[in-house]
């Protein structure tokens, strides 16, 4: 048998006859394994420790640690964070109930990514993966000694069971998306599981999707009778480094590090999961949470309020040096945060209405008056990345766009990408933009009546409700509402509690809602769940309810891209089209993490670009913590 060891990712390519001989030499084996080996004879396969959609893996098969971790980081201590709202379930996969913060913390997948690469996955629960050149199937060999948190072993049957469970009881949008990629899953023996893919699915999405399969305990589900589509205050039995320690409903949750975690010595996990305890404190609103931080009720805070960041950090603990306030590098793509129109609503069918409403959001005034100049405007679904298109379409982009020219929104082929409206920063209400917006609404048939409100021919007001759950957004949305009301739009802000927000969000019961719509660096079949017509009526990820033939066609081009040279112009083309459809009011972003924490946490010198990792590879300094306690800085 001839074998060739490849440099990129330390991949081993083997002929099928050799695989069959190795199976025979292994002694008594299952018939299923024999059948698999016989099938493998027909084609050359790749055996590897990881998978990258485009290009090679950064870390070879014999790597000893990730580049950005401190393998000598001490284990111990507690980090405490905050969240807002309520919870009544530890099941994050059901529409019923409100899932607790961190409820997926104990769930691991067959493969995992890193914080310094894009598009690469490495074996975690699996030891190796094997696949043919056409990616028609993949076989994962599970690591020996993988255990659930109760000490029971993980088998291939657990993988099969979990996949089938999600297909039967998971969210409809998840089932729809995965069923178009994965045809079947079968256990070949106790530690070997095979995924067979739908022939029509995108080739480069297949292994990535299979590798992202979570692994839950079949025996636990059968014993407890738990269901994936029901709320549960008992976390599902899984394999991860943390388990639930205790909780008080709507007050706090404590997760503890499992000292018997099966994967603690894996190279990919060295220097990670360093805190003994992760405590989560619940608050009714963000103002109460900030006061709690100042008082030492919790110890680590990612600051999302520009007002707080600019004016609030003058409290005694900071002045005395007990709290660190810091801006840390963030190399991520902008999150695509925006007010999103629900296109399922009849009043938003006319693009002129959406454009007029967008024009009345004054970002420049908001940034100067409310955000202290800390933010940049989002204009693109791939903002702050090499995928963002500029100027007129390039020849490569035109090659993608011209075949669907009859389906494209106006201006895509011969104009620069649509940008957010620029407004006067000196005053919240920009009269020039208001005149343009009013003209668009007049053209669309929404005319101002004697009461100052715009109505259509049927006498219905142009109702626009902003659905929100965050008090921190009141000061941003209220001026926007006032601007809209000045031009006759029946605009209101409706701030609801977290449970109501979740219910209405899942039921698509909103006019405008805040969402993050970034495409990602290497998008694929997931785009169909975010923007595809087929899933628009069921996918909670498609918050705008978008149905558009040009978008569908471009998603197919992206799904079937096999090189970055094919992917990049297709993503740029899609971004141009999405922006031209004007179903969002883009908001803002910043390219740094703004964090504050009590001075007892430390992090590696070279932080990775794609994850702050404060719960992953930061650690606790016991001496500093004792000094803070002695000074009375912590409760």
What's the pLDDT tens digit per position in 108-166?
999 999 999 998 999 999 999 999 999 999 999 999 999 999 999 999 999 999 999 99
Predicted pLDDT at 34: 44
What H or E segment, with its residue span, contains residue 253?
strand 252-257
Distance separating alpha carbons of residues 96 and 499, to the nearest angstrom:
10
Predicted pLDDT at 37: 47
Nearest Cα residue to 308 out of 362, 367, 371: 371
**Burial readout 64-91 (b: 16 or more C-beta within 10 A, e: otherwise):** ebbebbbeebeeebbbbbbbbbbbbbbb
328 pLDDT more than 80: yes
512 pLDDT more than 70: yes
Predicted pLDDT at 67: 97
36 pLDDT more than 90: no
Distance separating alpha carbons of residues 125 and 110, to the nearest angstrom:
5
Distance separating alpha carbons of residues 376 and 520, to the nearest angstrom:
19
In sequence order, the β-bridge partners of residue 323 are: 598
pLDDT digits (tens, 9 = 90+) for 547-604: 999 999 999 999 999 899 999 999 999 999 999 999 999 999 998 999 999 999 999 9
pLDDT digits (tens, 9 = 90+) for 252-271: 999 999 999 999 999 999 99
Distance separating alpha carbons of residues 35 and 14, to the nearest angstrom:
17
CA distances from 285 to 88, 318, 390, 468, 498 (A): 18, 22, 40, 12, 10
Predicted pLDDT at 633: 92
63 pLDDT more than 50: yes
Say what percent of the chain tops pLDDT 90. 86
Q: 21-25, 480-484, 562-566, 602-606: which range is least confident on average? A: 21-25
Predicted pLDDT at 42: 55
56 pLDDT more than 90: no
- The CATH number for 67-122+142-331+591-635, chosen from 3.20.19.10, 3.40.1410.10, 3.30.310.50, 3.40.190.10, is 3.40.190.10
What H or E segment, with its residue span, contains residue 46?
strand 45-48
Predicted pLDDT at 41: 46
CB-CB neighbours of 634 under 10 Å: 18
Distance separating alpha carbons of residues 63 and 265, to the nearest angstrom:
13
pLDDT digits (tens, 9 = 90+) for 218-254: 999 999 999 999 999 999 999 999 999 999 999 999 9
Does the structural domain 348-585 have CATH classification 2.40.110.20? no
Where do the H-state alpha helices sit in 538-607? 549-559, 564-581
More confident residue, 7 or 78: 78
**What is the pTM (predicted TM-score) of this model?**
0.84
Predicted pLDDT at 54: 87
pLDDT-derived band at 17 (thresholds 50, 70, 90) equals: very low
What are 579's two structure tokens?
A: 């922006």
Predicted pLDDT at 472: 86
Name the average pLDDT for the chain: 92
Nearest Cα residue to 405 out of 579, 536, 573: 573
Predicted pLDDT at 95: 84
Predicted pLDDT at 535: 87
Per the rule left: phi > 0, alpha: psi between -120 and 50, beta: everything else, 275 is: beta
Contacts of 496 (CB under 8 A, 6+ apart): 467, 468, 469, 504
Distance separating alpha carbons of residues 149 and 259, to the nearest angstrom:
10
Query: What are the strands of the beta sheet with 277-283, ordered from one edge?
Result: 78-84, 277-283, 252-257, 242-248
In the chain, which residues fall in CATH 3.10.105.10?
A: 348-585
In the chain, which residues fall in CATH 3.40.190.10?
A: 67-122+142-331+591-635
When pLDDT is averaged across residues 605-632 and rounded to a whole number, the result is 96
Let me know how long the chain is: 635
CA distances from 504 to 3, 41, 90, 597 (A): 57, 53, 20, 34
Predicted pLDDT at 160: 98
Nearest Cα residue to 7 out of 53, 66, 61: 61
């Amino acid at each position: 048998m001839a074998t060739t060891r490849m440099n990129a990712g330390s991949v081993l390519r083997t002929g099928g006859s050799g695989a069959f001989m190795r199976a025979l030499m292994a002694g008594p084996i299952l018939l299923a394994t024999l059948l698999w080996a016989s099938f493998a004879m027909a084609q050359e396969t790749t055996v590897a420790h990881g998978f990258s959609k485009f290009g090679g893996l950064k870390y070879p098969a014999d790597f000893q640690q990730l580049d950005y971790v401190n393998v000598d980081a001490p284990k111990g201590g507690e980090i405490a964070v905050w969240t807002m709202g309520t919870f009544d379930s530890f099941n994050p996969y059901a529409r019923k109930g409100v899932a607790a913060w961190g409820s997926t913390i104990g769930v691991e997948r067959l493969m995992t990514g890193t914080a310094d690469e894009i598009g690469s996955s490495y074996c975690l629960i699996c030891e190796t993966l094997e696949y043919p050149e056409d990616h028609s199937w993949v076989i994962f060999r599970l690591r020996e000694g993988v255990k659930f948190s109760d000490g029971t072993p993980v088998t291939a049957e657990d993988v099969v069971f979990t996949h089938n469970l999600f297909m039967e009881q998971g969210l409809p949008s998840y089932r729809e998306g995965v069923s178009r990629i994965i045809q079947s899953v079968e256990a070949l023996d106790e530690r070997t599981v095979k995924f067979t893919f739908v022939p029509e699915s995108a080739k480069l999405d297949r292994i990535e999707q299979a590798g992202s399969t979570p692994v839950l305990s079949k025996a636990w589900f059968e014993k407890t009778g738990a269901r994936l589509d029901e709320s549960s205050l008992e976390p599902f039995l899984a394999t991860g480094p943390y388990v639930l320690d205790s909780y008080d409903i709507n007050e706090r949750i404590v997760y503890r590090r499992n000292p018997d975690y099966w994967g603690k010595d894996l190279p990919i996990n060295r220097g990670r999961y360093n805190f003994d305890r992760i405590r989560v404190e619940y608050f009714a609103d963000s103002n109460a949470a900030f006061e709690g931080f100042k008082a030492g009720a919790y110890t680590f805070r990612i600051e999302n309020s520009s007002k707080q960041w600019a004016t609030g950090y003058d409290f005694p603990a900071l002045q005395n040096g007990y709290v660190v306030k810091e801006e840390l590098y963030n190399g991520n793509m902008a999150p695509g945060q925006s007010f999103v129109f629900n296109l399922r609503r009849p009043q938003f069918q006319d693009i002129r209405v959406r454009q007029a409403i967008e024009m009345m959001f004054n970002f420049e005034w908001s940034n100067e008056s409310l955000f202290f100049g800390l933010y940049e405007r989002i204009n693109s679904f791939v903002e702050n990345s090499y995928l963002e298109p500029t100027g007129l379409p390039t020849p490569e982009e035109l090659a993608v766009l011209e075949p669907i020219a009859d389906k494209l929104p106006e201006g895509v082929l011969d104009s620069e990408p649509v940008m957010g409206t620029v407004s006067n920063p000196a005053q919240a209400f920009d009269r020039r933009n208001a005149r343009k917006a009013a003209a668009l609404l007049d053209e669309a048939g929404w005319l101002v009546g004697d009461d100052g409100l715009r109505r259509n021919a049927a006498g219905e007001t142009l109702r626009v409700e902003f659905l929100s759950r965050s008090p921190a957004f009141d000061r941003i949305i209220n001026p926007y509402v006032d601007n809209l009301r000045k031009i006759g739009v029946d605009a209101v802000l409706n701030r609801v509690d977290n449970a109501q927000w979740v219910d209405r969000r899942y039921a698509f019961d909103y006019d405008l809602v805040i969402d993050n719509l970034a495409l990602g660096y290497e998008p694929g079949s997931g785009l169909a769940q975010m923007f595809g017509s087929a899933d628009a009526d069921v996918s909670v990820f498609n918050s705008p309810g978008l149905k558009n033939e040009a978008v569908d066609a471009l998603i197919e081009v992206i799904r079937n891209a096999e090189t970055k040279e094919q992917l990049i112009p297709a993503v740029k083309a899609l971004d141009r089209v999405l922006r031209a459809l004007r179903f969002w009011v883009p908001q803002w972003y910043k390219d740094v993490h703004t964090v504050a924490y009590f001075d007892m946490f430390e992090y590696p010198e070279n932080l990775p670009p794609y994850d702050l990792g404060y719960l992953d590879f930061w650690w606790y300094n016991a001496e500093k913590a004792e000094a803070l306690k002695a000074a009375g800085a912590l409760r």
